[in-house]
Amino acid sequence: MTMSNLIGKRVRVITMVNENNPVESGTLGTIRHVGGGVINVNWDNGRSLGLIEGEDTYEILYDELPKKDVVFSGNY
């Protein structure tokens, strides 16, 4: 997958290393722009802060449904 295909994908931050006020580890967000070595994210906690490629640790959640979707299971 190319970096531009990441827009709209969900991401979870693990660590942010060179940030005075980092996004808390485990926070989820949605990728809004990728370029210049930065993955810009709208975090679910209301913040907008980029991840630095090669410095910050994060995971792209390819299979996670957006939080607004509801999945039903069981017998109805």
pLDDT digits 0-9 by tens, 28-50: 999 999 999 999 999 999 999 99
Q: What is the pTM of this model?
A: 0.76
pLDDT at 28: 96
pLDDT of residue 19: 85
Higher pLDDT, 70 or 52: 52
* Domains defined for the chain, CATH in brackets: 3-61 (2.30.30.30)
State the greatest distance between any 2 C-alpha atoms of the chain, in Å, as a whole number.
50
C-alpha to C-alpha distances, 6 to 18, 34, 46, 73, 74, nearest whole angstrom: 23, 8, 20, 29, 33
Q: Mind listing the pLDDT tens digit for each residue in 53-69?
A: 999 999 999 875 555 54
Sheet containing strand 57-61, strands side by side: 48-52, 38-43, 28-35, 10-15, 57-61
Alpha carbon 49 to its chain's center: 10
- Residue 7: CB atoms within 10 Å: 13
